[in-house]
Structure formats: C-alpha cells, structure tokens
Structure 1
Amino acid sequence: MTIKIVDLFSGAGGLTFGFKNNISNGFFVKDNRFEFVFANEYDPFAAASFRENFSDIPMLEDDISKLDIDYFKKNKLDIENVDLIIGGPPCQSFSTVGKRQYDNRAKMYREYRRLLSIIKPKMFIFENVLGLLTMKNDNGIPVIDDVIKSFQSIQEFGDVLGYTVHKEVLNAQDFGVPQSRERVFLVGIRKDLVLSTDWEYPTPLIGKELVTVSDAISDLPKLANNEQKTNYKSKPKTEYQSLMRGSEKRLRDHISANHGHRIMKIMEAVIEGEGKDYINAQVEAGKLPKELFLTSGYRNTYGRLWWNKPSTTITNNLSTPSSLRCIHPKQDRALTPREGARLQSFPDSFKFIGPRTRINTQIGNAVPPLLSLALADSIYNFYTNNFKK
C-alpha cells in the first residue's frame, strides 16, 4: 500500500524526511510506504536544499498562489487520488517571539485551503507555531478558530467537501528530539469518508529519558570564534549521535559566527542556563563593566543553553545570541548550523544549500525529522485501517 502525498510550504524538508525515511538497527533507511507527487517551496535556498536531499520528488519552486489546475496540467502532474497533503505555512507572524502581525504571511493558510479544494486529499497535516493558539485576526477572533472553521467547510471555493479537524499540541522532546519545541498540529479527514477507526496522534515515548544537548552534540569538535572544522575528532558517544552521524565521514556546516568584542565578553560572562537578566545583575553589582549592560532583548536573549537538558526552541536566529538563548553550554560562542541541525534531529548527511544565515533559517523553520517519523507512522496505521487499496 502506497500513500500519495503533496508537500506544501516544504522548506528544506524536515516534515518530508519522516515520510521518506524510517529507522532500522540504529540507522535511517528509506521508507517506501509513501510516494510524493510534488513539493512546493518559494524560497530558492530552501528549494535547492530540498532538491539536494530529495532528488526524486518534483520541486515546484514558485509562488503557491500560481498553483492551479492549469499549472498542474502544464507540468504534467497527476493530482488524482492524492491521499495526503502535508505542510505548514509561514509561521513568523504567529510567533510569540517578536512582533506579532496578522499579515499576508499569517493568511497563507488560505492558499493551503484553496489547494485542498482543488486536490481533495483524503487527509491533511497542517503544522504551525504555538502562537497560533493566541493570535487574533482582524475581527478579534482567535486565528486558530478561523483556521479550523475554514477547513471544516471549504465552500468558499465552490466545493461542498470539508474536513473533520483534530487539533493537538506536540512537543518534539517527547519523540526523541533533543529540543523542547511545542507546535500545533491539525489533522483533517475528509467528511465524506466512512471510517472504521478514529484518528490518533502519535504517542509520546514512555519510559525513555529526554535527549539532552550533551547527548546530541558532545561529539562535535570545539570551535573558537569564527572558526570552522570539517572533520570529526571523536567517535559517537551516544545512541543519538550514532543515528545522526550514520556513515558520514565529512562534517558539514560546523562553523561559528564572527562575534564582536562586546558580544564575546558577554558570552564569556554568562553562566549555564542564564541570560540577559544575569548579565545586567552582574553589571549592577559592579562585577562586570557598565558597557556590558543590556538595554534590549527578551529575558532569554544572550542565554546559555543547559548541557544536561534538551535545548530550548531552535529558531532561524540560532547563531545570534542577541535574539534568543543559543550560546553553547560549554564554549563561548553561539550554536553552529550543524549543531542547530542536530538539535532539530536532521542527520549529518542532510545537505543544506546557501550562506550560513539562510541555512539557519531552513533549520529553524523546519519540523524536526524525528517528530515527522512519528507522524508518518500514525498516518500509515490510520490508512491501513481505513482505506485499504
């Protein structure tokens, strides 16, 4: 049984990865249970990364608003009998970090819904940030209510079909990812389908300790400010590191940012688990020079991660201490793209295309692959119980 998938707002392919791979004997292996009709991504660097890692999936690098029946016919894409659409529209507008705006990016779920009305998949998976639960639209209505209601009935596009929508908040750390990352997932099931079982979200791993930052990155070589290393200096130290490294011999994207003198002094002073407030308290106590006093940023900015805990949420600013907690627990520098990828559960074999800042964006915006694997298993089990072919 093969499940046909369309992948929207794919990014570099974090969500895609879980439907293309599985784990066997401690290694990632190819999964043939799913077949991708096409993927769509507008950002050229993310699209290039997607092509690099999923060369067998047609990538439509174009504005999603251009995708319609004529577009699919022109590109000879068979959208008949698609089983599943996956994807998460741009989430920055919903994020609780920074300025929240109900702008065009926040309304991109309407394009997702429009394609549901054209392709009519049996199911969809819609992913977004936790801020979607508290953001309000122009009429003061919670955006999440607007989104769910719009999926329940898509008559706006002249289609009588709608979806029964199941909402759940999943934390990546409960699925083997070394990062506390809560995201909203909506799973929709077409209302006209006769079901023999109910949808169930993947169950968090029970009885297993959370994977920590140390478990994830302690095998990677030390770096100074503005330094890069391309060779592993030690063997994997944990089961997680072995999974991430696989058979890779070359270390990619392990390069530290070039921090200025003031930022270096701040990073040298901040201790594990502390951040902006700690630095300011040290200045006020006369233990640090006044020029290090921080007048902007949130409480977790200029923050050092904990070594023996999962990381806090990785974002596209994972190498910028002034933006969030991203200072290495044991070294006086911010995370490298490869460390960010490890904390997101991207294997070391995954190749990102673009300059460092654009790679960080691809990593920070992604669904963690290990969480995606759990979702893929739940989808497949649901399909085999309800839609046997």
Structure 2
Amino acid sequence: MINVVDLFSGAGGLTFGFQKKIVRNRFVDDDRFNVIFANEYEKNAAYTFKMNFPGVPMIQEDIGELDLVYLQQMYLDISNVDIVIGGPPCQSYSTVGKRQYDNRARMYREYRRMLSILQPKLFIFENVLGLLTMKNDLGLPVIDDVVKSFNDFSEFNGAIGYTVQKKVLNAQDFGVPQSRERVFLVGVRKDLNLERDWCFPTAGAMQKHVSVGDAIGDLPELVNGAGTNHYTKHPYTKYQFLMRGNQKVLKNHVNGVNGRKILKIMEVVPEGEGRPYINQLVQKGKLAQEFYLTSGYGNSYGRLWWNRPSTTITNNLSTPSSLRCIHPKQNRALTSREGARLQSFPDNFIFYGSKEQVNSQIGNAVPSLLSMHLANSVIDFFESNKFIRQEG
C-alpha cells in the first residue's frame, strides 16, 4: 500500500484518482493507496472533500500553520509518507487575469516546506500552463525558481532534495472531455536507489477524444432559470454510463436567469463562435448596436462545440459572458453538473456551497480521470523500484 498526502486538495480531484479505479466501466474503490490526510483552507471545498472522502482526515487550515508538532497532535502517522500530491493556488499564474507575483504565487514555498517535513519518496505538483511564462520580481522565470527550490533542501536541517521532471499534460488525451493543459512537476527524492526512473503517463496512440456531446448529451434540456433533479434520458455513450453509474437523483443541474440582451446573444452565436462574431453582426447591421460587446476576450460569449472536447473549464462556467461556456445546443451556459461531467467528476460526487462556490471547486480541480492515470504511473514506478510495502 502506498501512503499519500494531498496538499491544497480543493474538492478532491487528485485524491479521487488515488481512491478510485475503473472496473467494467464503473468506479470502484482502489485499495492500493492510503490517503493519510488532506489539507485545504477554503471551508466549502474542504467540506466537499469530507463528504466525498469521509475516511480521509481533512485538515481545514492555512497550510502555513501546519508543522511537525501540529501533525503529531492530530495523531497522524507521517513516518512513512510515500507521495505528496497537490498544487498551490493557480490564479496568480493564470494567463487570464493580472498575473501578479503575490503571496499566492509564492505558495509553492509552503508546499516545499511541507515536503521537508514529510520527506516523501515522490511528489506530484500541478499548476496552470501560465506557470511556465510567469516572471518573478527580478523578471526571471518563476518556473526556474520553483524547480531549483525543489532540488536543494539543505536549509531544512539536512532534509533531502528532489530530482524534478516537468511535463505539460492535456486532459483530453486521458479520456477527459476537455482540452485542459496543465504543468506537472514530479520530484523523486535524491537518496533513492532506482531501478527505473519516473515516467509520465502517455495517451493511447489511437484514443478518440471524448466530445462535449459524448459527455453531457444525456442530461435534461433547460430553459431560462429552470432546473431539475430528474434524469429524462438514458445514457447512450460509454462516458455517460461511467459518469451516471447507479445515481438516481440528478444534482446541481440548474440554469441561471439571464436578461433579454444575453438571451439574444446566445440565440445568434453559433458553435465555436463568440464575441468577435457578435460584433461583426452588429457592424454589418444584422444586429442592433446595443449588442456590440466592448469588453471580454476573443472567446467570451463563446459557444462550445458538440463534437469536440470543451475548452478549459473555469470558475465562471455558468456565466455566458465568460470564456466559452455556452451550451452547444441550448441557449444557456453550462450547469454545475455539466461542468463536473467535463471535469470527469461522476454524478454521485457531492458538492457543497453556493452555485458560485461549487463552480469554483469544479473549475479549480484536477480532472479525476487524469488523476487516475497519474496514480497508475505511481503504481508502475513503485512496483518497478520495489517500494510497495506489503500489509500484514
């Protein structure tokens, strides 16, 4: 069994992949991993985690407050931590936003401090693609600071550093119906005697991408301001069967209330188009001047494609004016449950909080299916190096 700690866990997308596996297209418990504890500061995300992983101790606390004494007082056995997973807040690195090198951007230092305490054999650190282009206060690449900091832990009373590998993985290559690129850093402790180096998971050469339609086509249609907790169609794709499982009650499938202007914009924008298309209609006199959009990005007010994976799901997945989140076939933005489907959370995954808080949890998560592929790579690495302890 492999002992795991999840830092900055959020709702638990990464932990899901280390607690579940797929057997005959159904999620079942995976007893190869033992999650010792998870840490998340945001209370709603922490509560969501606790509801879905009741057997995992959740420390809902600022990570800066965690130290060896704190963990020992929680009666947690951290003497044999095999792997630490998780990624600090990504908003500071995101290419959508101000990109400030602020305290959130420096949270990797807290992650590193925890590594010095737990000294796992391996860590998996995840963050947005913008980490690769973010600059520090001196105008130098932040990614270089991060990688170098993981190499040398000598200031922590002689703690051992890590050899780090870096790779960009796209969730759509691993069965997730979403084009979502993320940076993964994997560190292997330098004192380990390895027979095989770490290998990132690779996508199947012939694997067909799962489309938005494949993912959410069985979910009920909704009009403006409507919601339902009833399934009205049977699943008809392998992915829908996997996500539905034995769930009988549909949760988090509620459409927002939109005004006349937004409804009209959604009515005229076709698949794959967005703000520039709307403004062209205005300029050509095909749409009234009041619909000219002066703010946003090129893919703001964007409609998704039915036969392609979605673009990256964000915290604003239910806001039509946000980044490409309008349903491909209906004149509305995505519901929270549709966002969860596109992040590969199954329908029985429970979210806690307001709709905005739930969408934040969904938008910030690591897709569950991608996490499963990472977990399988961890198993391969530990088995190849004979690191797995036999229980009993």
Partners of 1:252 and 1:273 lie apart in 2 by 28
State the match for 1:263 in structure 2. 262
Partners of 2:156 and 2:293 lie apart in 1 by 51
State the match for 1:8 in structure 2. 7
Q: What per-residue deviation string (whole Å, max 9, x for no partner) do you get for residues 11-31 of structure 1?
A: 000011000000000100000
Q: What per-residue deviation string (whole Å, max 9, x for no partner) do you get for residues 208-235 of structure 1?
A: 2110000000000000111111111011
SS at match of 1:157: coil
1:297 aligned onto 2:300: no
Partners of 1:306 and 1:369 lie apart in 2 by 22
Partners of 1:265 and 1:313 lie apart in 2 by 24
Q: What per-residue deviation string (whole Å, max 9, x for no partner) do you get for residues 128-172 of structure 1?
A: 000000001111110111100000112233334100001000000
Deviation at 1:375, TM superposition (A): 0.2
State the match for 1:145 in structure 2. 144
Please list, as runs of the form range in 1=range in 2, the aligned pairs for 1:1-389 lying within 5 A after superposition.
Answer: 2-386=1-385, 387-389=387-389
Partners of 1:160 and 1:120 lie apart in 2 by 7
**Consecutive aligned runs of 4 or more in structure 1 exceeding 3 Å deviation:** none
Partners of 1:273 and 1:12 lie apart in 2 by 30
Deviation at 1:203, TM superposition (A): 1.0
Deviation at 1:388, TM superposition (A): 4.1
Identity, in percent, stands at 64
Stretches of structure 2 lacking an aligned partner (at least 5 in a row): none
Deviation at 1:278, TM superposition (A): 0.1
Residue pair 1:117, 1:159 contacting (<8 A) in 2 also: no
Deviation at 1:320, TM superposition (A): 1.1
TM-score by length of 2: 0.98
Partners of 1:40 and 1:321 lie apart in 2 by 33
Deviation at 1:120, TM superposition (A): 0.6
Could you tell me which amino acid in structure 1 is paired with residue 86 of structure 2? G
Residue pair 1:275, 1:299 contacting (<8 A) in 2 also: yes
Q: What per-residue deviation string (whole Å, max 9, x for no partner) do you get for residues 82-128 of structure 1?
A: 00000010001100112211111111000000000111111100000
Worse-superposed segment, 156-165 or 352-361: 156-165
Could you tell me which amino acid in structure 1 is paired with residue 242 of structure 2? L
Residue pair 2:173, 2:207 contacting (<8 A) in 1 also: no
TM-score by length of 1: 0.99
Q: What per-residue deviation string (whole Å, max 9, x for no partner) do you get for residues 330-364 of structure 1?
A: 00000000000000000001000011000000000
Q: What per-residue deviation string (whole Å, max 9, x for no partner) do you get for residues 289-334 of structure 1?
A: 1001000000000000000000000011101122210000000000
What is the alpha-carbon root mean square deviation over aligned residues? 0.8
Residue pair 1:4, 1:82 contacting (<8 A) in 2 also: yes
Partners of 2:371 and 2:158 lie apart in 1 by 30
Residue pair 1:95, 1:130 contacting (<8 A) in 2 also: yes
SS at match of 2:4: strand
Stretches of structure 1 lacking an aligned partner (at least 5 in a row): none
Residue pair 1:176, 1:205 contacting (<8 A) in 2 also: no
SS at match of 2:50: helix
